[in-house]
Each structure stands twice: as structure tokens, then as C-alpha cells.
Structure 1
Amino acid sequence: MGDKPQSMVYALVGALLAALVWMLLDVWRGYRVRAWLRHGDLAMVPHLAGWWGVLTERARKLLRERERSIDASEQRLKDFLSAIQTSPNGVVMLDAQAQIEWCNQTAAAQLGIHAERDVMQRIGNLMRDPVFTAYMALEQPSEPVVIEGRGHRVDRPVRISVQRHRYGEGKQLLLTRDVTVVEQAEAMRRDFVANVSHEIRTPLTVLSGFVETIQTLPLSEEEKTHYLSLMATQAHRMQGLVEDLLTLSRLEGSPVPSMRQSFPLSRLMASCEQEAKGLSASLGQGDVSHHIQFVVNPLLTDAVLMGEGRELQSALSNLVSNAVRYTPTGGDVHVSVDQGIDGSLLIEVRDSGAGIAAEHLPRLTERFYRVDRSRSRESGGTGLGLAIVKHVMQRHGGSLHIASEVGQGSCFKLVFPASRWMSTHA
């Protein structure tokens, strides 16, 4: 009987020892799980049995889903930032203290800030423009402000539109846009309307005065004839202006001339030569006129230009008539045709006139731009001729080059690419 209690004690001790071992093993498993969760390395998942294994597998799946979600979010953020980086508009994110949190390269280039070095710098310390400073001081600006951008110069303006939006807890978003071209286009539109109004009003005022004179004053037939001649001149001037405006409108609104159309070079040159000599005779004094010479490379006498004949005629006619009008009587007007080393066709109109100062050359093809307004009106010009020439050349894939020097005359060169002309010589 004494051995039975002793065996029970041994059994109880063995059970306690087994329980203790199991508990120690369980604690060890828990420690491994805790250590793994602390590091969160999915590559080091502990392989455990029992409910610790179930817990570990469940945690592994949740961590894997979380990791995938973070990766997807990071990728979306990268895609979003990449899209903003390629935007032609600038984006600047400011915190509640107006410090730069992030900006794209467009905004950095437009505002003259550094996308990385200037992070957490106050935008007001970097942008000293008084207009920008006043705009940022407004509580709720309703309209964007336009400031001078990086690299702004008088001869090459850079105008940037800045618009501010609030978001989050005191944060701000700046959106920038280069409006230089828009402002220039608007300025050109205003100038165009003002110039057209002025150009039409002037001859109309003269005509109105002549009509009133004829109606109210007793005039001899000789005086009436004189006034009617002056009225005809003003009417012709208005007609020329309207025709040039319609030509420009047609050039800007019609399709590019087809390569299937062609116009013989010889016909173009003959027509312009006849026109130049007729104009010279009308402007000459007695038997004195201009020395006009048209020279074509013998290899190009049978060449044809691929394009719209009326436009080509208008372009060369404008250059030749300008050369005659702005060259004193007895001066030289030389028109030549040759082939460039790249296969292009070159038509050059050179005169011995007064020449043009260098500062005027970049603007000569602007509508209504005149070096000397009074002299241009006396010569009968509308101020649209070179604008027409530029448009015609652009529509034919070519270009207009101008060289001039005061006292040395001027040279206007039409350059047609090799694809826009061909020789019919067999």
C-alpha cells in the first residue's frame, strides 16, 4: 500500500515537469514569434507547430497583404509624382508656415528655385518679387497673379501665372503656368486691331475731308480732278490693305499647298520682272528708273516649284516691289535664282537702298511693323507684305532670311527645300 502513494507522487511530479517543459517550450515559441513580429521580415518566418503555427501563418498573410498594399501605394505615389514632373505646369506644395515641402522641375525652372536644395525653405525668402509677396499676403485670392519668371529680360520676357489654393490644415498649393506666349498673342491681337483701325481711319479721314471740300466749296474742274485723284489714291490704299488682310486670313486658314500643284519658275520670274519694271517706270523721274536685273542659274531655267502659284507669286512680288519702292531712282535691284549645296532652291532679292538697322530685322515680318511709318505710307506699303511672305514660305516648308546694313542695301532670300522643287529637264 505504501508504494501506491509514492507512485502517485512520481506521476504528479512527472506531470508537473511535463507541464513545465511544455510551458517553457510554449514561451520559447512565443518569444520567437514576438522576435519575428518585431523585425517583420517575411523571409524569416518561424516554422512552429500548434496554435503558434496557426497564429504565425495568419500574421504572415496579414504582413504580406500589408507589404503589397504599401508597395502598391508607393508605386501609385511614384506614378503620380512622375506625372506631375512631366506636366508643363508647375506645382509647389507648401506647409502651414509657407515652407516648400515639394515642387516639380517645371515650377523650379519657372520660379528660379531648387527642387531639392530649397525644400523646407520659406517661399517668401526665395521669391522677392513684390507682386508675388503681395499676392501671398492675401487671405483668399480669387484670381491668379502674373509675375516675371526666371530669365526675364526686356527683349525676351518670361511671364508666369501663379495661382494659390489652400488645403489640409493650413497647407497651400501653388500652380504655375508660363503665359508668355498667351500674353504676347494677346498683345499682338490688340496691336493688330489698333493698327487696322488706324490704317483704315487715316484714309477714311482724308476721303471724308475731300468729299466735304468738293461738296461745300466752288471748285474749278481742274481742282475737282486733282481732289478726285487724291481720293482715288486713298481708296486704292484702303483696297490694298483689305486685300492683304484677306490674303493673310486665307493663308492662315487654308490647308498646306499640295505637292501635286506646280508652278514654273520661269513664269514666276517673268511675271515679277515685268511688274518690277512697270513699278519702277511709274516711280521714276523722266527717263531715270532703277537698274533691274533678273538672273537664273542656267541649270534651273526649267525648274518648277511644288506649291500654290498664287501664293508663290504673292511672296516674290512683295519682295521685288519692296526693293523697287525703297531703292532710290537709279539704284540697283538684283533678283537671282540658284541652288543651295543641300539641294534647296534659293531666290535672292538684293537692292542698293538705304538699308535697315540691325535692331529692326527681327521684327520686320510682324504685321504692320514699319521701320519708318511716314516713309512706308509714302511708298504705298500696307505693312503686311513681309508677314505674307513669311506665311507663304512656312506653308511651303521654306524660310525667309533677311540681311541688311544701313547704307549698304538689303538682301531678302527665299529658301525652298529640295522636296519643294524639281527640274523638268529630261
Structure 2
Amino acid sequence: MPLHARTAWTRTLGQLAIVLALALLAGVLVGYPWQLLAVAALGIVAWHYWRLRGVLLRLTARQRVEPSGGNGVWNELDRLLHRTQEEMRGRKRRLVEMLRAYSAAAAALPDAVVVLERNSQRVRWFNDAATRLLGLHYPDDIDASLGERLQPLPVARWLASGRRAEPMLDVPSPASAGVRLSLRLIPYSDELWLLVARDVTKVMRLEQMRRDFVANVSHELRTPLTVVHGYLDMLDPEEQPEWAPILEEMRRQSQRMTQLVEDLLTLSRLEAQDSLVDEDVSMGSMMVTLRREAEALSQRRHAITVDDGADIDLIGSTRELHSAFSNLVANAVRYTPAGGSISIALARSADGGAVLSVRDSGYGIPAAHLPRITERFYRVSTSRSRESGGTGLGLSIVKHILQLHQARLEIESEVGQGSTFSCHFGPERVHARERDVARLPVAGP
């Protein structure tokens, strides 16, 4: 117990003892000691209850308790209540200042910020940028359904995904047709979510300029490369034997540059597409083709096995999926030393979808490189990639093709143990194989 409270308590007990002693002495003088002592005790209790009543009334009415000048326990209680009230007022004042500062900061953000209720998707608060980018107006849109306010954007369905909602990277603004937005949902509590909308118009314009530049330059490089190929084919190394190594290296490098141009054109074409024309993809024929390509690239240097026991087909683009799968197979052959093994498998996933995996026993990829391995031109080992003839665009092409099929690429790798590249397709992209297709043995070289 603090010193002031202990002193006040001792002083109050002393005062009570003195009052009771005086009452007892007066009772002895008049001949009624116990009666006067009882009356004094009742008076003391009544007085304390009266003081307690006053404190409760002030607290109930939220009145400010002023410290009194006495030195009893009730005076000390008034001082403690006054100090507590002052501390609470100070904390409340600081909290209000912080809330105002945060509100001002959120209002000044160039990105639109909207606070939503999780279950009802109703708007609780939004900043000034939400008016400019999303077309929300205060106070009309407070407590309104965000899905209804942002039509025709598919926001309601997107919000229903909750924590699993992927960012919407390029959508038109409801307030301005020429503005492109990136929407992101941040569940920051059990009851409230945060919707952040960013103006990416300039970024998308620059990205389109980059795509057009790459596509145009790649297209223009085709003609000079064709001319170079023609002249190289006309040169006969038997006429000048000393030129043979030089001509061979020139042919090899020109072919590598041609492949690079073709990959750039493929990547530019994929980036310019928002969707693909769906068709039934015969995975039986696909697996036969992948095995044939793997054996042709391997030249009997690897043990190749194929597992096509899932008995399913996919829905998508046969051309694009073949491009993606063959890229994975080519990488497995390219980065697996002679004597290694390569396994291609098609299987059902637990959610009813499908997984096509390509596993190798190659060099493996360090964990630090995995997050960036699908970036264009990103190389784990520059020297090894050049020796193997890779362009650095294969996995980027695979990623874009899978995204157009609402699929994803997962990579597992361990240095010295090999890598596994898995293409995961949702149930909506899978159906049972309906027609007879050339079947592969479940496993075997």
C-alpha cells in the first residue's frame, strides 16, 4: 500500500477510535455508556455510507472529482480518483490525436482505402482517393454494399474469397474509364477488411510500351537473322578447313539468337492475351509427345519414365500447354547430367484437379533462387545456362501459360538432389478421358 494511502488509513482509524472513546466517556458520565457507543458507531457508519453514496453518484454521472484538502481516507480516495480521471483524459486525448493523425494520413494517401465489414461487405469508412478512383461519395456510400457500388466490376465474388483473394492487377476504374486499378484485399481483423485500390495506369502504359518494343524488335531481328543463316549455309568449311570451327560457332550462336527471338515473340504474345480459346486437350497424346521429345533431346543419356495413370484430359489450349510442358521437359534434360533420371507424371490432385510434374535428378536449385526463377532472363548459373543453350525465358513462358489457364507452377528443389516442377490445374480444367488414346506404360524407360 502506498505511503499516502497508509497514512490516510491510519489517521482515519485514529479519528474513529477517538470518536468512539469520547462517546463511551460521555455515556459513562450520563449512565448510558453502551447506548451512546452504539449511537456513535451507527453515526460513523451512516457518515461513511453518505460519503460512499456521493462518490458513486459522481462516478455514475461522469462528474469530474475535485481533490479535497482533508487528510482522511475519503480525501485520499478523491485525490486518487481525480488523478485517475486526469490520466484517462490524457490517454483519451492522445488516442484522439493519434486517430486524427492516422485519419489524416489515410485521407492524404494517393491510393484508395476502404474499410469494409467482413460479413456484409458494407462500407465503414473510405478516404478521399476512393471518391476519385472508385466513385464512392460521403456520406451516401457509408453502410452501402461495396459490390453494388462498384458494378460492373466482379468485386462481390472477389470479396467472397476473403483471405484467399488474389490481387486484381488490372481492372477499369468505375469512376473513369481511362484509369486502370490494382485492387488488393487485406483482412486486418476478424470483423473488418481493408480494400486498397492503386492507380496503375502509368505502369500499365509503360508495360504495354515495353511489350510493344520487345515484340517489334524481336520481329525486326528475324530478317537479318534469316540473311545471316543463309550466308552461313552457303559457306563450305571444306574449302577453308581452318574456318570450320569459326563457322560452326557462328552457326551455333545464330541459332541461339534465333531461339531467343522466338521465345521473346512467344512471351510478348502471351502477355498480350487475357484469355485463351478452350478445347479438349488429349493428355494421352500429349504424354506420348513429351516422351518422344525427351528421348530425342536426351540421346539415351538419361533414364526417362512416364506415368499416365490418371486417365484424365484437360480443358485449355493444346498448343500453349504443349509449349509449357515441353519447356519443362527440355529444362530437365538440359540441366541433368548424363546418367541421371527424368520422370514425367500426370496425376489427380486431392481437390479433384490435376498435376503434371517433371522430376529430374539434376544439379538442383539453391533455395535463395527459387522465388525469382520464373523471372525473364533470370539465371541461377550463367555459365551453365550458356553451355546448355538456354535463353532464360522458358520458365517465364511456362508461368504465363499456366496463368492463362488459371493454374500455377510449384517448384521443389534441393542442390545435388534434383528438382520437381509441378503444374497444378483446378477441377474446372479436368474431365475424365472419354476416347481411346494411345496409352503409355505406367512407368519404365
TM-score, scaled to structure 1: 0.49
TM-score, scaled to structure 2: 0.47
